[in-house]
Chains A and B, each alone.
Chain A
Amino acid sequence: MWMGWLTVELWGVQIVGMALAVLLAPLYVGIAQTVKARMQGRQGPSIWQGYWTLSKLWRKETLVPEFSSWVMQMAPAVTFGAMAVVVVYIPWGGSVPFNWPHDVLTVFFLLALERFWVGLAGLDSAGTFGGLGASRILTLGSGIEPALFAVFGLLWYLTGRTEIVPIAPGWWRHSLNILPWGLAVVGYVFVAMAELGRLPVDNPDTHLELTMMHEATVLEYSGRFLAQSQAAVALKFTAVIALGWVWLGPTLASPWWNLLLRIGELAVTSALLGWFESRTVKLRYLRLPAYLSIAIGMGMLAVYLVASRGGY
C-alpha cells in the first residue's frame, strides 16, 4: 500500500526529530547550565559537559545499595523509556505520520509513570533522603496533574480533539484570543517548571540533601544507572519544552522547517530558562500547592474566556 509522498516525508521528519531529541537533550541542559554559570560570574563547564558526564558515568563502576531491590535498578530504564515514548508522540513535522492512538492522556500518563518510578526508586534505594524526595515528588505530582489538565483544557476546547495537535494556525494572532492564549502559556510555564523540577520549585544543582526533591531520589545511583537517570532527565527536559511549543507556539506548513523551528525554540528556551532560574529563588515547599493552583487557575480561566463568548 502506497502511503503517499506526504506521509513518507512526515515519517522522515518524525524519525529525524526523535533522533535529534535524544541526541541533543544533553546539549539543551548544557545551554541552561552555561547561562546560569555566566550569570553567576563563573566560566562554568563546557556546553557539551552533559555528554562527557554521560560517557564518564557509563564507564565507571556501578554500585547499588545493599538493601535495595530490582526496582531501583529498573527505574532508570523505565523513566528513560517513558520519556522516549513521549518523544515519539510529539509531532515534530507539524502532525504525526501515524494514526494509532496518540491521545494526550497517554502523554500525561507517561509523565505520571516516570514520576511514579522515580518515587519508587527513591524509596527502594534505602537511603535517608530517598524517601524524603519520593514523598515530596509524589505530593507535588498530585498538583501537577490537574494543572496539566487545566492548561490542556483550552487546547481541547479549541480543537475538539484529545490528540497532540497544534491549535489552528493563526488562532492566537487574533487580538481577542491573545488573553486566553497568554493565560495558557503562563499556566504551561508554571506547570512545566514543576514537572521538570527547576527553580522556583526544585533546585537541580543543589548539594543540600534536606532541600532536594528529584535529586534526593537518585542520590544512591552510580555508574550506568546514574547515566540512564541523567539521560532520562535531559530527555524529559526536551520533551516537556517541545510539547509546550507544539501546543502553544506557531506551526509551519513545511515539516522540515517545522522541525528546524522546534530545535531553535528548544535552544532559546533552554537559555531563557537558565536566565530565569538565575533571577529567582526556590519557593517554600508549603507554598507549592499555591504555586500550582496558579497554573490550574490560568488554564481554567483561559477555557472560560473562550467558552463565554461561544468559542472562537
Chain B
Amino acid sequence: MVENERWIRVHVERKRAGEQLLSLTGDRERRIRSHWLLPDGRIEAESLICEEGRFPSLSVSLPEVAWDEREIHDMFGYVPEGHPDLRPLVRTPRWPDSFYPLKERVAAPQWLDVEPDNPAKVVEGEGMTVMKVGPTHAGIIESGHFVFSIMGENILHLDAHLFQNHRGVEKTLEGLTVTDARPFVSRICGADTVSHQYNFVSAVEQLTGREVPEAVAWQRVLLLESERILSHLNDLAQIPAGVGFTVAHQRGLAMKEVWQQELAAVFGHRFLFDAMNQGQITMSGKERFLTALSSLEREWGKWRKLVDRQRGFHDRMRGVGVVRREDADQLGAVGVALRATGIRLDVRAQMPLYRHVQIAIPHVSGGDVEARFQVRLQEVENSFRLLRTALEQLRKDATRDDWQPPVDVTGEAVGYSESPHGLNAHVLQIKNGRIERYHVRSGAYRNWPVLALAVAGNAVADFPLINKSFELCYSCADR
C-alpha cells in the first residue's frame, strides 16, 4: 500500500517539476517501468513490481498515461487498479481471453470468429446521432475507426478506435540481434522513420558507451532535419485540402514530391528507410543536396506567398480545433500540437546531437488549426537553416560510419528524439545481444487523445481540417 502511494506521488512530483514522460510500460518480469526526461537531458526511471498482477493506476492524477496503462492491460494482462476507463485499446474480441501477446512467448492462438468491434463511448439522448467513419476511408489513408456522437452539425464527442492493424511490432523485435532489428525499427512508420532509427541507434550506443564522432553527428542532424522538412511539407500541403483550397494542396504536394525524389537520390530511399546506416551522404551527394535545397527554398517562397495571401483559408483555420494550454499539458501533448498552444518545448534542446546549434522554437499560441499551421511554417524555415549549418560542417569530413555494435550488448536504455510529430521514445532491454523487450512511444501515440479532445465542440464538416492539422500517424498506433 505504502509502495502504491509512493508510485503515484513520485510521478505527480516529476510532472510538476517539468519533467517529460518518455514511456510507461511493462515487461515479462511483472515490472512496470516509467522513464522521465529531466530538463537537463538526463533520463531517470521508476519501477514497480506488479503484486498479484495488479498495479496502481496513475491515470486519474496523470491523464497522459491512460492509453499506456490500457495497453499494458491488453498486452500483459496486468490490471491498473483505479483506471477510469479500462475498455480494450489494442485488444479485439477476436483474441481468446487468455491471450496476452507480450506476456509469454506464445505462438499465435486460434482467433475467435466474432465481430471485431470494441465497445464505443457515445453520447445518448434526444437528437443525438452516432456516426461511424472508417476503418476504411475514401482517400489513401490508413485504418482508423472514428465514432462520432453528433447533434445536428456539432460534434459532442469523438471516440477514436485506432490500433486496427495488429502488426506485432514489439513482439517481432523480441529475440532479434541489433543488426537484424534495424530494418524492422526503420519501418515502424513511414512518417517518422529517421527518428525511429535514431532512437534505436542511440539506445544501443548508450549501452556500449560509444562516443559519436562529430561528422557522424552532423550526418544524423542532416537526416533528421531532412525528414522534418519532408513530413512538414506533406502535413502543410494536406491542410488546404480540408477546405477545398486545391491549388495550395496540389502545389504543396508537388513541392514535397520533388524533395522526396532528391532525398531518394542522395540517401537511397524515398521515405528514408534504413538511411541512418546505409544512406550516408557522399561528396557528390552533398553538391546535389545543396542544389536541391536551394531550389526547394525558391519553391517554398512561392508557396508561402500563395497561402499567406488567401484570407479565406486563414479564416477557416482560426478558432477551429482549439487545444487549450492546460489540456495540452495535462494530456502530455507533444510536438507541433504542444508548441501551438504556446508551450515552448522541443526536446532537440536536450538532445546531445544538437548541442552545437541553437534550436529556434516558434512563438505561436492559440492552439487552433491556424496555430499548428504557423508552427510548421516556421519550423520548416528553421530546418532550412539547420540543414545549411550541417552541410557547412560536413564540407571537409565525409568519413563513413562503419561502426558495428559488439555482439554481447546487455542492459536497458532509452533513445529519444524530436520527430516531426513530436517527442518519440524507444525503450530497449537487451541481453547478450538479443532484444528482450522493445517499446515504442511515438509522437502520434501521445497526440491521438489530444486530437479527440480538440474535435469535440466543433462542426462535423471541420473534422477533416482539424484531423489534418494534427496529421497523426496511424501506423505508430498499429501495435
Contacts and interface: CB of A to CB of B under 8 A. Distances in A.
Q: Most B CB atoms within 10 A — which of A210, A211, A279, A280?
A: A210
B452 interface: no
B243 A210 contact: no
B245 interface: yes
A167 B381 CA distance: 57
Nearest to B155: A210
A281 B459 contact: no
B312 A211 contact: no
Given A132-B131, A207-B138, A286 B244 contact: no
A281 B243 contact: yes
A36 B249 CA distance: 12
A281 B251 CA distance: 15
Contacts of A279: 247
A200 B313 CA distance: 11
A286 B240 CA distance: 19
Contacts of A128: 131-133
Interface in A96-116: none
Contacts of A281: 240, 243-245, 310, 312-313, 316
Contacts of B315: 284
Nearest to B153: A285
Interface in B420-436: none
A134 B251 CA distance: 32
Nearest to A42: B250
B459 A286 contact: yes
B245 A210 contact: no
B139 A207 contact: yes
B101 interface: no
A119 to B, nearest CB: 16
B242 interface: yes
A308 interface: no
B49 interface: no
A288 B330 CA distance: 37
Interface in B315-347: 315-316
Interface in B391-422: none
Nearest to B150: A132
A250 B70 CA distance: 70
A40 B242 CA distance: 16
Interface residues of A, number: 27
B53 to A, nearest CB: 40
A115 B153 CA distance: 20
A279 B132 CA distance: 33
A210 B464 contact: yes
A248 interface: no
Contact of A284 (B240, B247, B250, B316): B316
B246 A278 contact: yes
Nearest to B249: A40
A285 B461 contact: yes
B251 A40 contact: yes
A34 to B, nearest CB: 14
B108 to A, nearest CB: 33
A211 B131 contact: no
Contact of A211 (B250, B313, B461): B461
B322 to A, nearest CB: 15
A136 B315 CA distance: 21
B463 interface: yes
Contact of B243 (A41, A136, A209, A282): A282
9 contacts: A36-B246, A42-B250, A199-B244, A210-B133, A210-B460, A211-B464, A279-B247, A285-B459, A285-B461
6 nearest A-B pairs in the assembled complex, by CB-CB distance: A40-B250, A203-B244, A282-B244, A208-B464, A281-B312, A207-B138
